[in-house]
Structure 1
């Protein structure tokens, strides 16, 4: 059994991302074309694990502090959706929360490792989710406007996260396209003990602002010295929302 490592280690390729989001015209009104589940190379984790090599093509990262009731997920981490692993990892670490990432570590072609959130059934992620009450799942969307689509079934927390990001000066889309809504009960974000979580879809333009020189490649984003003050402010806003009663 491969060992799950515990270190910060999520970019879907530009082609896959641009297919997923045809165009983001405005933060509040974006033209969006969702990718059907059949567009994924693999149907679920078992299918992926039968064809890809853990430790060579992908890795699983898990950190579960004792008593943690909140999880931060980056199921398209590493080089699948650039920058999402460091965001989720820092959010978890600074908040004393649990952290899970499924990360692409191929030299190229990490888009094949993308499993849509409603089909993502990796056992360690499911086990973690069965123990926590609140979840923030970090994703990357395409888009030339710096904004975030906040979705998920936890409507109260969605409202708090949107308000916290807005108060911190970050653009939040008023309308979340159906393909980014994150409301499917089978979505890994919603498979915690309450059956509801939050899904953050952060545009490429926004993610680029979190890293010096706007680089989103895995080696660059994993190096904490390349993180910008905007990354710390964004994560702090999300954790502030989680702390609210």
Structure 2
């Protein structure tokens, strides 16, 4: 259960640039890539979202937990994600993709959301680079209309959940602690391949 019931509540009761930071780029794109549980909340989601967004020059939003511990308290579920900056980007986009992290010993990407066509393309492209892809189970299906990813102009988006094992494999040292994530020379080719695969699916 989330400690905070909305982003507005979280932002009122915590300290920006101490507990968390927001990094955002509005590139006037029809596509927005988001890591709404970034930084230390769901590690590696910010880095991957940034690679995808930079590759395609898409809009980018990351909410990064900055604490040394208890970043999980900064998790607000996607259906309660009422951050104005993120919502404004999504609402003006035709496509949105959120990058999330889940638990898991196997390297799996679970694909959810309501954009069935883009989901199919993502499955195809990720499979081609050797990523195991599965349909997201019901508790992370991302199909609710009020999930931020589905608040696009078209009312659909894609939610990608990467297991902890898959996220660690995006770094050369197979760790996703802050030091490992901040050192871009530690980012594995797999991170960039994943980013290119998502770009191929979008385009």
Structure 2 unaligned regions, length at least 5 = none
Deviations 1:87-123 (A, max 9, x none): 0011001111000011100111100000001111101
Deviation at 1:204, TM superposition (A): 0.6
Deviation at 1:223, TM superposition (A): 2.0
Corresponding residue number in structure 2 for 1:58: 20
Task: Verify: 1:213 aligned to 2:173, yes or no.
Answer: yes
Secondary structure, in 3 states, of the residue corresponding to 1:212?
coil
CA–CA distance in structure 2, aligned partners of residues 184 and 144 of structure 1 = 27
Correspondence for 1:135 among 96, 106, 112:
96
Corresponding residue number in structure 1 for 2:117: 156
> Which structure has more strand as a fraction of its residues?
2
Secondary structure, in 3 states, of the residue corresponding to 2:127?
helix
Corresponding residue number in structure 2 for 1:240: 200
Correspondence for 1:82 among 21, 35, 43:
43
Deviation at 1:72, TM superposition (A): 0.4
Task: Verify: 1:190 aligned to 2:150, yes or no.
Answer: yes
Task: Verify: 1:97 aligned to 2:73, yes or no.
Answer: no
Check conservation: 2:170, 2:191, Cα contact below 8 A. Answer: yes
Name the CA shift for 1:104/1:132 in 2 (closer, same or farther; >3 Å).
same
CA–CA distance in structure 2, aligned partners of residues 189 and 176 of structure 1 = 15
CA–CA distance in structure 1, aligned partners of residues 149 and 184 of structure 2 = 26
- For this pair of structures, how many residues does the alignment match? 203
Check conservation: 2:173, 2:180, Cα contact below 8 A. Answer: no
Deviation at 1:193, TM superposition (A): 1.0
CA–CA distance in structure 1, aligned partners of residues 15 and 70 of structure 2 = 14
Deviation at 1:228, TM superposition (A): 0.4
Deviation at 1:177, TM superposition (A): 0.9
Check conservation: 1:83, 1:218, Cα contact below 8 A. Answer: no
CA–CA distance in structure 1, aligned partners of residues 82 and 200 of structure 2 = 29
Deviation at 1:131, TM superposition (A): 1.2
- Moved segments of 4+, more than 3 Å: none
Pairing 1:3-152 to 2, within 5 Å after superposition? 39-65=1-27, 67-152=28-113
Structure 1 unaligned regions, length at least 5 = 1-38
Task: Verify: 1:202 aligned to 2:162, yes or no.
Answer: yes
- Based on CA coordinates, which of the two structures has the bigger radius of gyration? 1
Q: Which moved more, 1:211-220 or 1:91-100?
A: 211-220
